[in-house]
Chains A and B, each alone.
Chain A
């Protein structure tokens, strides 16, 4: 239905084709882009960046979360800062990143990481804080302490909260990545958008948008939903 309306309006409107391409043309460009490797290469580049940035963000977030949970003094100081930082859209960091690292890959990686880190930190902290006292007492009476305590009780007990943190963090860093690539260049889907704009190829822009939407949906629905669901089933939070 939508496709039909699009096709018709595009053909009937007086706008030139490069401004409002028809659906068929978009699909053609999309197919060509995938075949020629132009779009596929960009996908690979973007995914590589986000995986790296996201992984760093998870690790940093968990470590910061641990310190905020463990030490009152860190909570009083850093805890507040993190909440404030979380409210800054990560693209805002970009000017700073360009000055620090130059207009290159590292700058993009930086904002991708920073986009996810604070959310991860906040979620990890509240996950750790909400570990029931009972589990902690049980583990302690069985002689668990230190790293073992962290690994076998605190981390697994906060898994549900950490997963929902991952989900939000992913959404943030995915947005940050696109914005960063759009401005920073250096390959990737974002840069392809920018290229489409400068060449006046709206069919390319729309193709890339479709790819972005598809990847975003796949990750959210397939990866995170499955992860969340399997934990819920295992814990008995939801029926099979």
Chain B
């Protein structure tokens, strides 16, 4: 296995100085070159798990290995694409993308050439000398992806990378991300709260239970034979995940609004868009 997560536990201290367990005995194996999504209600610890893999946070117990190496601190072989692009506003697009390469002591010319190649892949060749504030939200996120890809990481960690974008931009970026994934064969670990996004993109969807966060079920998305998946299959998978999540959503709502709240008994209206379950 390429990414192995073994018995991870993590707790935080909340404002009332109580210990809150956010991750409880997480075990997960991810194959090289696969695309895995994590879905779950907000606050279920899915982002925390991603930070643990990135090495930005430390687990209380358990260990994480990527390509056989134990994760102890952040490193360029496990780069993160954050929800907000996080480009450095004082650097141009090109300088942002070469930032990590120059850190690895790659000669400047070589780094720039490589960066240009990747920027071409995300269709931003025209904007290499622009500053981040001159770009739209979708373009910024493209730069952020390019910046990550150029490092040729062992694993690409994505923390709700498209959730701040508008619907059209998101659709375009979904398509482009899949293309990039097929082209580069990079392993992608994708955290999202959007079920549809998870089903559309990944081969495997890991559904998280909340408080404490643990893996509830792992669902394999029916493979795309010719790259095109019939809508029916997508919808079915979505529905399946949603039904698993319902219990969790109810748990969160009850905690927040009081015990009399019931989500399940409410009539669930499902429109043609099939978008139900995105902003949970």
Q: Which of A's residues lie within 8 Å of B, judged by CB?
A: 132, 134-135, 137-144, 148, 152-153, 156-157, 159, 234-237
Contact = CB atoms under 8 A, between A and B. Distances in A.
Contacts of B133: 235-237
A135 B54 contact: no
Contacts of A159: 90
Interface residues of B, number: 24
A136 to B, nearest CB: 10
A141 B88 contact: no
Nearest to A142: B100
B78 interface: yes
Contacts of A152: 99
A152 B99 CA distance: 9
B88 A156 contact: yes
Interface in B63-83: 74-76, 78-80, 82
A141 B132 contact: no
Contacts of A138: 80, 82, 86, 88
14 contacts: A137-B74, A137-B82, A137-B86, A141-B74, A141-B78, A141-B79, A142-B99, A143-B75, A143-B76, A234-B131, A235-B89, A235-B90, A236-B89, A237-B133
A135 B90 CA distance: 11
B216 interface: no
Interface of B: 54-56, 74-76, 78-80, 82, 84, 86, 88-90, 99-100, 103-104, 131-134, 151
B90 A142 contact: no
Interface centre among A141, A153, A156 (most CB of B within 10 A): A141
Interface of B is mostly: loop
A148 to B, nearest CB: 7
Given A235-B133, A236-B131, A141 B90 contact: no
Given A132-B86, A137-B74, 8 more contacts: A134-B84, A134-B86, A137-B82, A142-B100, A143-B103, A159-B90, A234-B90, A234-B131
Nearest to B134: A236
Q: What 6 A-B pairs come out closest when comparing CB atoms? A: A236-B133, A142-B100, A134-B86, A140-B74, A143-B76, A138-B86
**Max chain B CB contacts within 10 Å: which of A135, A142, A148, A235?**
A142
